Amino acid sequence: MIILNLNESEAKQVLQRYGIPIPNGILISDSKQTISALGNLTPPLMVKAQVPVGGRGKAGGIISANSLPEAQKAATRLLGTELKSFPVKSVLIEEKRATKKELYMGFTVDRFNRYYVMLASTKGGVDIEEIAKKTPQAIVRTPINAQSGLHSFNALSIAKKLGYAGDQLVELSSIIQKLYLAAIENDAEVAEINPLIETETAGFVAADARMVIDDNALFRHPEYEAKEAQTLSLAETLAAENNLSYVKLDGDIGVIGNGAGLVMATIDLLNYYGGKPADFLDIGGGANVEAIRVALRIVLEDPDTKSVLVNVLGGITRCDEVARGIIEAVKEGKIKKPMAVRLVGTNEKEGQRILADAGISALNSMEEAAKETVKFAVGEKQ
């Protein structure tokens, strides 16, 4: 499973093609080129690590600079480092625009209803999930008819609900229409501007942008095919090399299972018991010892992971192979975190015996394993 995330500079290039204003800036990959390359930019500046992941500011990947030397120092500091498991190969240096207000604007897929939905808010600059949790009334939610699409009157209505009138109403509605067109024509699962800033001169500029391209549509977008492998984190690369399906989530409980349905059910169960999954990792059917070892390595090396749940229902996947993979990972011993194992199915007695000999207990109940893992994670936090 690959999620094709464009980084900020790539997403902004798409927006610019559709006529959405972005700040003046330059992308650099070598700190030595900073001073000469920034000659056309006016401080203050923002220096931003280009990795396809959110939360860069909190992770130290966005630095403010009041002069060109400060920008060069910040670029040197970021280039070549690792941010949220992604190597920083380039940084975007942009002019910092004077801001009157920050807005959120984005299109995403409502999978249940099978159409795009527009989300907009006058409370930009933070995750839309955080806005929804703290001030749900601040979100303007507009379903987009799959047959007729987004009309100008829809865009005008959204802009009006955000409190704009006159020329600003027209300009903002135009940006909404352009963002929708960018999402549709690029087969984006997510296309968002956060924040879209209202400047002190009453204009609008996309200060940050994010796009997630549907990898099933890459045959229509050869321009993104070369990008596919570059969007992977080190953990995702390792997973892909070993035929594992891995997606990083925002929780603290590592999840490993065999079969997408079982992994999803495990994630749902953890949520039910108050836990927050840190990943989706499906080892697939018939996984061998090495695949299990690599899967555990990926999960254990995630700094967000506090505990691990291995949930295997053996069919063509043999429980004794899973057990040996777990033992191999434990022997490496680089990182130790509490683990709960639910192991039933083909060769389960042998698998449970192998684990027991190593001092690892295997549970028959998926519910018990989930409860135990949540308890481990809570204990780690205290």
Q: What is the DSSP letter of 302?
A: -
CB 206 within 8 A of CB 12: yes
Task: Tell me, yes or no, whether 317 lies in a domain.
Answer: yes
Do 195 and 315 have their domain in common?
no
Q: How many domains does the chain have?
A: 3
Residue 15 belongs to a domain:
no
pLDDT digit string (tens) for 252-265?
Answer: 999 999 999 999 99
Q: Which of 68, 95, 122 is the last residue of a domain?
A: 95
Q: Check which CATH number belongs to the domain holding 206 and give it.
A: 3.30.470.20
Whole-number pLDDT of residue 76: 92
Q: Are residues 166 and 196 in the same domain?
A: yes
16 in any annotated domain:
no
45 & 143 share domain: no
Task: Report the pLDDT value the prediction gives residue 218, as an integer from 0 to 100.
Answer: 83
What CATH number corresponds to the domain at position 61? Answer: 3.30.1490.20
Q: Are residues 43 and 128 in the same domain?
A: no
**Both 215 and 255 in a single domain?**
no
Sign of CA dihedral 349, 353, 354, 355: positive
- Is 3 part of any domain? no
Query: Is there a single domain that holds both residue 264 and residue 209?
Result: no
3-class state of residue 297 by DSSP: helix
Residue 75 and residue 121 in one domain: no
Final residue of a structural domain among 193, 225, 257? 225
Same domain for 83 and 103, yes or no, is no
pLDDT for 1:
44
Whether residue 56 sits in one domain with residue 191: no
Flag whether 7 is in a domain.
Answer: no
**Closest to 287 measured CA to CA, from 257, 328, 308:** 257
Examine the domain organization and report whether 88 and 137 are in the same domain.
Answer: no
Integer Cα distance of 49 and 90 in angstroms: 6
How many residues does this entry show for the chain? 382
Residue 375 inside a domain? The answer is: yes
pLDDT for 382 equals 43
Q: What is the pLDDT of residue 227?
A: 64
Report field, pTM of the whole predicted structure over 0.75: no
- Do 116 and 70 lie in one domain? The reply is no
Residues of the chain under the 70 pLDDT cut: 1-3, 34-35, 225-232, 334-335, 380-382
Which domain does 157 fall in, by range? 99-225
Residues annotated as part of the active site: 104, 192
Q: Is 316 helix (H, G, I), strand (E, B) or coil?
A: coil
Same domain, yes or no: 214 and 272:
no
**Spatial contact of 242 and 297, defined as CB atoms under 8 Å apart:** no
Residue 320 near residue 354, CB atoms below 8 Å: yes
79, 95, 111 — which closes off a domain? Answer: 95
How high is the pLDDT of residue 231? 60
